[in-house]
Structure 1
Amino acid sequence: MAFSADHWALAFGVLGNIVSFIVFLSPLPTFHTIYKKKTAEGYQSIPYVIALFSSMLWIYYAFLKTNVTLLITINSFGIFIETIYVGLYLFYAPKKARVQTGKMLLLTVVGGFGAIVLVTQFLFKGVVRGQVVGWICLIFALSVFVAPLGIVRKVIKTKSVEYMPLLLSVFLTLSAVMWFFYGLLLKDINIAAPNILGFIFGVLQIVLYVIYSKKEKAILKEQKLPEIQKPEVIVRDENTNDNKKFPELTQEQIIDIVRLGLMICKDKVHVATCPHGTKCEAKVDENTPKLQTVDA
């Protein structure tokens, strides 16, 4: 049995839900690091605030349409998890970042979303209302993909990928592919169009991660201090021929040395004879020490 466009749309919608579910969970390692460090310094809250706002808009758009139920399921989870992320960021962020995040929440989630709902409900009706909300969703969907460009700029400036999670970039790219085909099969340009840009930005982030992670490894390798070598301890056997300070002497050489020694002693020491066989003293030169008396 051949699959119709609706069947393929359902298949890509389900896959889009699965991948988007992973996308929403991909920042977990980042927040685990924040929890361990007890600070969110160096991280940005913009992607999470924009993602929260975008999920709220897509649910509103899904309620105005009849064939995009799968948008409701995944974006309901998105609102739940993004709210947790923003809450954790506010808890661990420095005072300045906390104030900026609070202002952004008031501007987008409270003021922005509230204004969109009020304006579209009172000024537009029927299909036109859905189209207007769809175009608004398209714009803010692009903002979701553009938001990580702040991190990309930081990566290029610092030449470090510490604050750009690779998992988020990979799954955003996969999610863009799934939702593009979902929107294309449903002939909904508001769903398909932003995911083209999402795919491009996702690939860009992955490429940058590969380039700068290699550079980081190369720099760390160059800066690695050489290991301190322990002084070599050589144990030598004094009885071996390799460590003899003097070469072996022949018997004739030993005799010559002894004779030389006797000649030196003869010049220095004169032993007196004892005619009576009693004790006698050795006569020594002034330069030599006195000898003790010995029994003949």
Structure 2
Amino acid sequence: MAISPHVLANVFGILADIISFFVCLAPIPTFVRIYKRKSSEGYQSIPYVIGLFSAMLWIYYALIKKNAMILITINAISFVMQIFYISFYLFYAPKKEKRLTVKFFLLVDVFAFGLIYVLTYFLFHGNKRLQVLGYICMVFALSVFVAPLGIIRKVIKTKSAEFMPFGLSFFLTLSAVMWFFYGLLTKDLNVALPNVLGFIFGVLQMILYLIYKKPGTKVLEPPGIKLQDITEHVVDVVRLSTMVCSSQMRTLVPQDSADMEATIALDEKIKGDIEKIKEEKEVFLINKN
């Protein structure tokens, strides 16, 4: 018995929703690490701002298209999760990164989305509006897959994959496969086409991770001097100085009463020698005159 395309589309759609949900959860280990270290650790907020923008666009698209509850469900979940991630990032990010994140958020998620909404709502109607909005969704759906590639420079420069979220790349790739078949079976190229490149980008990210991931590598600490490091350094210097001074000046610094007496006797002898030299010098000068 053949399975109808409609049933297959629902199956792939449900699977896509489930996997996309894991895509939303993939950054959680990153934010757990940020929470423990109380620092954003050089991670970027761009993927989450772009992810929020994409979720907003797809919700708008699904509402216009109608009968697209699968798209609405997962993008509503993604919307909430991205808001949480951005808020969490802002709490622990340095001031410079906070300013950049807020500016990017206002530019993309507020201004750009507002402009798209106004233009598509008032300038286009019916199927034309859906078509134009679908093209826009395709372009920015690719941004979700491309956004994590922004850390490639950091990975190559540091030769460390600690900042490459492998879980996110893996689930994005798997999600791209499911959404491609969902779009293909529902004859929605706006959903199917961007996931072709999404699959390619996801595979590239995982390859880079495997190339630069080294066993036992540690997360690179941001450059900076900590009070604890300074304190430990001072303590080490004091210890080293004590060891050197004690070894080189042991004969000059008495350690007990016997050494004290010996040192005093030595001082008296030196003083006597100095006085004797002075007397001999005076006698020599008198005889010379």
TM interval, short-chain normalised: 0.7 to 0.9
TM-score (norm 1): 0.72
Runs of 4+ in 1 over 4 A off after TM superposition: none
2:199 aligns with 199
Contact 2:23 2:172 in 1 (8 A): yes
1:1-296 equivalence runs, <5 A: 1-213=1-213, 216-217=214-215
1:38-77: CA deviation from partner (whole Å, max 9, x where unpaired): 0113100000000000000000000111342200000000
User: Which amino acid counterpart does residue 26 of structure 1 have in structure 2?
Assistant: A
- Matched residues in 2 for 1:218 and 1:118: separation? 51
- Matched residues in 1 for 2:91 and 2:163: separation? 19
Following superposition, the deviation at residue 218 of structure 1 comes to 8.6
Following superposition, the deviation at residue 166 of structure 1 comes to 1.1
Contact 1:138 1:191 in 2 (8 A): yes
- Matched residues in 2 for 1:219 and 1:141: separation? 33
Following superposition, the deviation at residue 165 of structure 1 comes to 1.4
Following superposition, the deviation at residue 211 of structure 1 comes to 1.3
Contact 1:45 1:86 in 2 (8 A): yes
- Matched residues in 2 for 1:81 and 1:73: separation? 13
User: Which amino acid counterpart does residue 104 of structure 2 have in structure 1?
Assistant: M
Aligned length: 218
1:114-166: CA deviation from partner (whole Å, max 9, x where unpaired): 11111111100000000111101000001111111111222122110111111
Contact 2:160 2:217 in 1 (8 A): no
- Matched residues in 2 for 1:103 and 1:74: separation? 27
- Matched residues in 2 for 1:168 and 1:87: separation? 19
1:4-33: CA deviation from partner (whole Å, max 9, x where unpaired): 111111000000000000000000000000
Moved more, 192-201 or 60-69: 60-69
SS of residue matched to 1:41:
coil
Moved more, 163-172 or 23-32: 163-172
1:147-194: CA deviation from partner (whole Å, max 9, x where unpaired): 111112221221101111111111000000000000011111110011
Following superposition, the deviation at residue 212 of structure 1 comes to 1.1
- Matched residues in 2 for 1:156 and 1:193: separation? 30
SS of residue matched to 2:215:
helix
1:256 aligns with none
Sequence identity percentage: 61
RMSD: 1.3
User: Which amino acid counterpart does residue 132 of structure 1 have in structure 2?
Assistant: V
Contact 1:64 1:130 in 2 (8 A): yes
Structure 2 regions of 5+ residues with no counterpart?
Answer: 219-289
Alpha carbons of structure 1 residues 35 and 65: separation in structure 2 relative to 1, 3 Å? same
SS of residue matched to 2:179:
helix
Contact 1:41 1:94 in 2 (8 A): no
Alpha carbons of structure 1 residues 219 and 116: separation in structure 2 relative to 1, 3 Å? closer
- Matched residues in 2 for 1:54 and 1:166: separation? 21
